[in-house]
Amino acid sequence: MLRRMEHTWHFSGAYANWTMTITAAPPDHLDSVDLTEFPVRRFENLGRQFHDAVNLYESLRYQDDRTARAGIYGSRMY
């Protein structure tokens, strides 16, 4: 039996709701492997990094919005 591990993080931001899902799936050449007991806590850093990236992106967007309202246009691309 092939079983995979999956973990999802959800964050609500000022501009969007954010979701990241990471999946550990067994390789094609194995007939039987169970990854459901994969230590998800090892992926907690990914969740924190994703949260940090969301905060950075939304902070930059907020700053660009404020700059545009003040008549100064930034050059960031989204």
pTM: 0.63
Strand, helix or coil for residue 63 = helix
DSSP 45-71: HHHHHHHHHHHHHHHHHHHHHHHHHTT
Say how far apart CA 28 and CA 62 lie, in whole Å. Answer: 44
Contact (CB, 8 A) for 21 and 11: no
pLDDT single digits (tens) 8-66: 999 998 888 999 998 877 778 877 777 767 777 777 888 899 999 999 999 988 888 77
